[in-house]
Chains A and B, each alone.
Chain A
């Protein structure tokens, strides 16, 4: 384990603070905040470079790197020994915002154009940094589901190990303080000026924090083989979605309950086996009440000892699930229950009191809860290493694609880049103004264009069958960049006055998935995976795992990205965008189900941007293989061909859909792979591309997927979707008729 947060730079320091219930909150010094600067916050005061973090990275990246370095040391793991089967999965929601904010402040206040910090803006930036630095070539992915990200990342990493995609995963979460989230939560009146007081009768909000924690998750076989000391087992995990509201939890805690029940099911444990719960316990009136109701429903009148450690760390958003996983594992190791600082008097509406002072207890199984915006919930169960694991395994399945809906691909048009960026014009693939006539008035006035693109794509996809348990995973490269930049421009221009509370919920990257879930009543996993160009494949993989784990009957998987003046202008300045490499935008949502050998010609449900086709009970194509990883640089064609052919039988493959005609640097890699695979197959494989039609952007491979599905349906031959990200990610997806 590795951890860095306000109360300490390592596990020992952090546990000291946790055990003593030391409030880690102090006035903010990271950036000036005239309005709220005196409100206490869990800020890391040490210089991260002095702690050893790499210079060229964002603050979130640095935190994650420090935690990853320490986790590798603690686990005595040398990734090079098994690099291809060692990966990384982090939860992150703020990403490089703190550093991008400096860029925009310089531009707006001083007219200085210094875009370098924006290179680390994406949430997956920390994944790329750590994977490159430590040489991890297994799957690399981030999930950006706001405050549940850290826990969801650990759960998803466990699934990568369960499915045999990796032997070892670095898993955790990272988020730094940022002006955008700071002013956003203040605008929602969700911050307690006295510092958070979870579960207390006088609680009036959360406190901010930052930090990172990384666990080394390892299959038992691998740990035993290399003689590692196992410090705990991850025996269960569960995810759910309230599908209720963008920011408020379900008032009865229905989603929180479902996540905990799902984790128990996965672990094959009764509720009575849980000896301690590390609550999400943010200190807001609604969260703590809803969580307490969920605890009472699950445990009846035998609610185990529980506490929230948020006053020690502050709420470190996407990192909090990972920070609290470390707390849970230390509690197990030491046989001690951590206290809940900030609690003085029981709230009669809650009727439960948390642990108030450190005390010894024999602990076998402990649970950690994390909930986030979009009604996104996750629960983890950690157990003593000597327990016999009964974790339910995933079924080997293939999945059928039932239907696909799209917003886009965008038409080629010239777009002016607006101030404060220097004036310029670019050819782009843009969806233009959306036809929102089918949306409700509240959806039209409230939801951002980013969310509307995803919602319209989902509506053009056949609806899931009634009573289906539905999971939603919508990948994104940049996330909600337009809302984020509007909020920040407003913050800078108005000096923190006149915030925009209605826009803030739309700035979280899982907002599209959450709105799709609200519309469809989708209560299973709800995720926003991100990994540059392979973000869609990350979503497909998460949906697949929900079907394989029998946690959902149907999954809506897709990806969405939007054009925004900052990546357009900065990319033009850096020479990325040319007449040939055009930025794009759009959304794709595909419905997948576990392969039930349903067969039909699917003629009526071909991909469409028009009205939704009727559900005909057939399928368009089957996804029979899906792998994620990272490629070595310089690009090694022989090694990559081995990686592909180990997972895919080329006998029936007739075409390869590649991400060529986007980033020019990748074109020769794709060419060399198609040639080498043709040689291996003993015949010429067709090399088909899609970026000439949709443009280059994080979600583009979702359009490649839609094109490949349609090609397979028409030609009744198999096709391989092969995607590379310029930052090192790779994915293959085999589609069969």
Chain B
């Protein structure tokens, strides 16, 4: 099942309490951490919670999520891969 990136962006904005940011302001390929949205390691943990709540994907080790948290596109691909298994 293809993941709606707009929906995913909305979920990210809600879970991270990002102010003054709308889904259309987030580029699918922009880095989420560091330079891009300026997120940090604690935001990554909030994304872990969001993935479980919205997509029923459980991550027990943050290293497992690291490659997926590069950008919205990699995260969507990660969710699709997890849901396919």
State whether the Cβ of B80 lies closer than 8 Å to any Cβ in chain A.
Answer: no
CB distance from A287 to the nearest CB of B (A): 14
CB distance from B14 to the nearest CB of A (A): 12
Complex CA–CA separation, A442 to B41 (angstroms): 13
- Decide if B17 touches A445 in the complex (CB within 8 Å): yes
Residue in chain B with minimal CB distance to A494? B53
Within 8 A of B (CB), among A170-204: 187-189, 193, 204
State whether the Cβ of B34 lies closer than 8 Å to any Cβ in chain A.
Answer: no
Interface bracket on B: 20 to 34
State whether the Cβ of B46 lies closer than 8 Å to any Cβ in chain A.
Answer: yes
Complex CA–CA separation, A246 to B42 (angstroms): 9
A137-162 vs B, CB cutoff 8 Å, 1 = contact: the mask equals 00000000000000000000000000
B24-60 vs A, CB cutoff 8 Å, 1 = contact: the mask equals 0000000000000010111101101100110000011
Given contacts A498-B52, A501-B46, A502-B45, contact A442 B38 (CB under 8 A): yes
- Decide if A502 touches B42 in the complex (CB within 8 Å): yes
CB distance from B19 to the nearest CB of A (A): 5
Complex CA–CA separation, A444 to B38 (angstroms): 13
Given contacts A189-B62, A248-B41, A502-B42, contact A445 B49 (CB under 8 A): no
CB distance from A28 to the nearest CB of B (A): 18
Residue in chain B with minimal CB distance to A285? B63
CB distance from B30 to the nearest CB of A (A): 16
State whether the Cβ of B16 lies closer than 8 Å to any Cβ in chain A.
Answer: yes
State how many residues of chain A have any CB contact under 8 Å with chain B.
Answer: 21
Most chain B CB within 10 A, of A204, A245, A248, A501, is at A501
- Decide if B19 touches A501 in the complex (CB within 8 Å): no
B1-25 vs A, CB cutoff 8 Å, 1 = contact: the mask equals 0000000000000001111100000
CB distance from B54 to the nearest CB of A (A): 10
Partner of B43, one of A247, A441, A497, A502: A502
CB distance from B33 to the nearest CB of A (A): 13
Within 8 A of B (CB), among A71-99: none
CB distance from A249 to the nearest CB of B (A): 12
- Decide if A189 touches B60 in the complex (CB within 8 Å): yes
- Decide if A441 touches B20 in the complex (CB within 8 Å): yes
State whether the Cβ of A339 lies closer than 8 Å to any Cβ in chain B.
Answer: no
- Please indicate the chain A residues that have their CB under 8 angstroms from the CB of B19 in the complex: 441, 444-445
Complex CA–CA separation, A446 to B37 (angstroms): 14
- Please indicate the chain B residues that have their CB under 8 angstroms from the CB of A442 in the complex: 38
CB distance from A579 to the nearest CB of B (A): 37
- Decide if A498 touches B49 in the complex (CB within 8 Å): yes
- Decide if A445 touches B46 in the complex (CB within 8 Å): no
- Please indicate the chain B residues that have their CB under 8 angstroms from the CB of A446 in the complex: 17, 42
- Decide if B49 touches A189 in the complex (CB within 8 Å): no
CB distance from A463 to the nearest CB of B (A): 24
- Decide if B42 touches A501 in the complex (CB within 8 Å): yes
- Decide if B16 touches A247 in the complex (CB within 8 Å): no
Complex CA–CA separation, A502 to B43 (angstroms): 7
Within 8 A of B (CB), among A231-265: 245-248
CB distance from A451 to the nearest CB of B (A): 14
Given contacts A498-B52, A498-B53, contact A188 B18 (CB under 8 A): no
Most chain B CB within 10 A, of A193, A499, A505, is at A499
- Decide if A189 touches B46 in the complex (CB within 8 Å): no
CB distance from A555 to the nearest CB of B (A): 29
- Please indicate the chain B residues that have their CB under 8 angstroms from the CB of A497 in the complex: 52-53
- Please indicate the chain A residues that have their CB under 8 angstroms from the CB of B20 in the complex: 441
Given contacts A248-B41, A441-B20, A505-B42, contact A204 B49 (CB under 8 A): no
Complex CA–CA separation, A546 to B19 (angstroms): 40
- Decide if A502 touches B62 in the complex (CB within 8 Å): no
- Please indicate the chain A residues that have their CB under 8 angstroms from the CB of B48 in the complex: 189, 501
- Please indicate the chain A residues that have their CB under 8 angstroms from the CB of B52 in the complex: 497-498
- Please indicate the chain A residues that have their CB under 8 angstroms from the CB of B16 in the complex: 445, 502
Residue in chain A with minimal CB distance to B20? A441
- Please indicate the chain A residues that have their CB under 8 angstroms from the CB of B18 in the complex: 445
Partner of B49, one of A187, A441, A444: A187
CB distance from B63 to the nearest CB of A (A): 9
- Decide if B61 touches A247 in the complex (CB within 8 Å): no
Complex CA–CA separation, A37 to B62 (angstroms): 21
- Please indicate the chain B residues that have their CB under 8 angstroms from the CB of A188 in the complex: 42, 45
- Please indicate the chain A residues that have their CB under 8 angstroms from the CB of B46 in the complex: 500-502
- Decide if A189 touches B61 in the complex (CB within 8 Å): yes
Residue in chain B with minimal CB distance to A246? B42
Partner of B45, one of A187, A193, A445, A498: A187
Within 8 A of B (CB), among A435-465: 441-442, 444-446
Complex CA–CA separation, A517 to B68 (angstroms): 33
Complex CA–CA separation, A245 to B43 (angstroms): 13
Partner of B61, one of A204, A441, A500, A501: A204
Partner of A501, one of B38, B49, B60: B49
CB distance from A315 to the nearest CB of B (A): 19
Complex CA–CA separation, A497 to B56 (angstroms): 11
CB distance from B58 to the nearest CB of A (A): 10
- Please indicate the chain A residues that have their CB under 8 angstroms from the CB of B53 in the complex: 497-498
Complex CA–CA separation, A6 to B45 (angstroms): 30
- Please indicate the chain B residues that have their CB under 8 angstroms from the CB of A245 in the complex: 40-41
- Please indicate the chain A residues that have their CB under 8 angstroms from the CB of B61 in the complex: 189, 204
Complex CA–CA separation, A498 to B14 (angstroms): 14
Complex CA–CA separation, A446 to B43 (angstroms): 10
A493-519 vs B, CB cutoff 8 Å, 1 = contact: the mask equals 000011111100100000000000000
- Decide if B17 touches A501 in the complex (CB within 8 Å): no
Given contacts A445-B16, A445-B17, contact A499 B41 (CB under 8 A): no
Within 8 A of B (CB), among A375-428: none
- Please indicate the chain B residues that have their CB under 8 angstroms from the CB of A501 in the complex: 42, 45-46, 48-49
Complex CA–CA separation, A55 to B49 (angstroms): 39
Residue in chain B with minimal CB distance to A498? B53
Complex CA–CA separation, A442 to B45 (angstroms): 16
- Please indicate the chain B residues that have their CB under 8 angstroms from the CB of A248 in the complex: 41
- Please indicate the chain A residues that have their CB under 8 angstroms from the CB of B41 in the complex: 245, 247-248
- Please indicate the chain A residues that have their CB under 8 angstroms from the CB of B45 in the complex: 187-189, 501-502
- Please indicate the chain B residues that have their CB under 8 angstroms from the CB of A189 in the complex: 45, 48, 59-62
Complex CA–CA separation, A581 to B42 (angstroms): 40
Complex CA–CA separation, A351 to B61 (angstroms): 24
- Please indicate the chain B residues that have their CB under 8 angstroms from the CB of A499 in the complex: 49
CB distance from B26 to the nearest CB of A (A): 15
CB distance from B44 to the nearest CB of A (A): 9
Complex CA–CA separation, A248 to B62 (angstroms): 14
CB distance from B50 to the nearest CB of A (A): 9
Complex CA–CA separation, A736 to B22 (angstroms): 55
- Please indicate the chain B residues that have their CB under 8 angstroms from the CB of A187 in the complex: 45, 49
- Decide if A247 touches B42 in the complex (CB within 8 Å): yes
21 sampled A-B residue pairs with Cβ under 8 A: A187-B45, A187-B49, A188-B42, A189-B48, A189-B59, A189-B60, A189-B61, A204-B61, A245-B40, A246-B42, A247-B42, A248-B41, A442-B38, A445-B16, A498-B53, A500-B49, A501-B48, A502-B16, A502-B43, A502-B45, A505-B42
- The interface of chain B, by Cβ under 8 A from chain A, is 16-20, 38, 40-43, 45-46, 48-49, 52-53, 59-62
Please name the 8 residue pairs, one residue from A and one from B, whose CB atoms are nearest each other, closest first: A501-B45, A445-B17, A502-B46, A189-B62, A502-B42, A498-B53, A445-B19, A501-B46
- The interface of chain A, by Cβ under 8 A from chain B, is 187-189, 193, 204, 245-248, 441-442, 444-446, 497-502, 505
Q: A189-B60, A445-B18, A501-B48 are in contact. List 4 more A-B contacts (CB 8 A).
A: A248-B41, A445-B16, A499-B49, A502-B17
